[in-house]
């Protein structure tokens, strides 16, 4: 395998792992916070709509990480798929304020020039990324309304 072509694949695998573990870690932190407060996780999340919005964006990241991991071969097969996926990730992570994943998505977008294939190959990960972008717009709207209100 060409060395330049291997970089985006390796980067995508690392990105998927981070997308998997950040929401998992966040839910663990919420669970600890709920236990300290003497509440269940759902009661704790119900107390703040902001937590619910963050859980929605975290669930989208978690779903996207699993689908991308399973579909990474098609996702890195063509430059169009890879770049489109990373562009959607930049927009989603910017809207939800996930700075670590935003920086990684920008770095991944720069790796797009190393993907050799051209054309479009249907990819479930790109389709799910569109869904996650729509959810990020909704969550970003929630964040904005919370900032303006309080």
- pLDDT tens digit string along 125-146? 888 899 999 998 988 888 888 8
- pLDDT tens digit string along 42-68? 888 888 878 888 888 888 999 999 999
Q: How many residues does the chain have?
A: 150
SS3 content of the chain, % helix, strand, coil (to 5): 85, 0, 15
Element (H, E) at 2: none
Confidence check: pLDDT of 121 > 80: no
Give the global pTM: 0.82
For residues 13-42, b (16+ Cβ closer than 10 Å) or e, as one string? eebbeebbebbeebbeebeeebeeeeeebe
* pLDDT for the residue numbered 127: 87
Q: Output phi, psi for 102, to 5 deg.
A: -65, -50
- List the Cα angle 58/64/68 in 5-degree steps: 150
């Amino acid at each position: 395998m060409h060395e330049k072509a291997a970089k985006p694949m390796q980067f995508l695998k690392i990105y998927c792992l981070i997308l998997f573990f950040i929401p998992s870690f966040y839910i663990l932190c919420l669970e600890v916070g709920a236990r300290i407060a003497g509440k269940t996780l759902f009661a704790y999340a119900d107390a703040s709509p902001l937590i619910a919005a963050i859980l929605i964006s975290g669930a989208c990241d978690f779903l996207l990480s699993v689908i991308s991991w399973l579909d990474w071969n098609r996702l890195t097969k063509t430059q169009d798929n890879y770049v489109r996926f990373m562009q959607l990730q930049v927009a989603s992570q910017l809207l939800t304020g996930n700075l670590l994943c935003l920086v990684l998505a920008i770095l991944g977008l720069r790796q797009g020039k190393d993907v050799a294939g051209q054309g479009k190959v249907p990819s479930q990960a790109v389709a799910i990324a569109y869904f996650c972008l729509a959810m990020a717009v909704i969550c970003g709207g929630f964040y904005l309304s919370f900032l303006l209100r309080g």
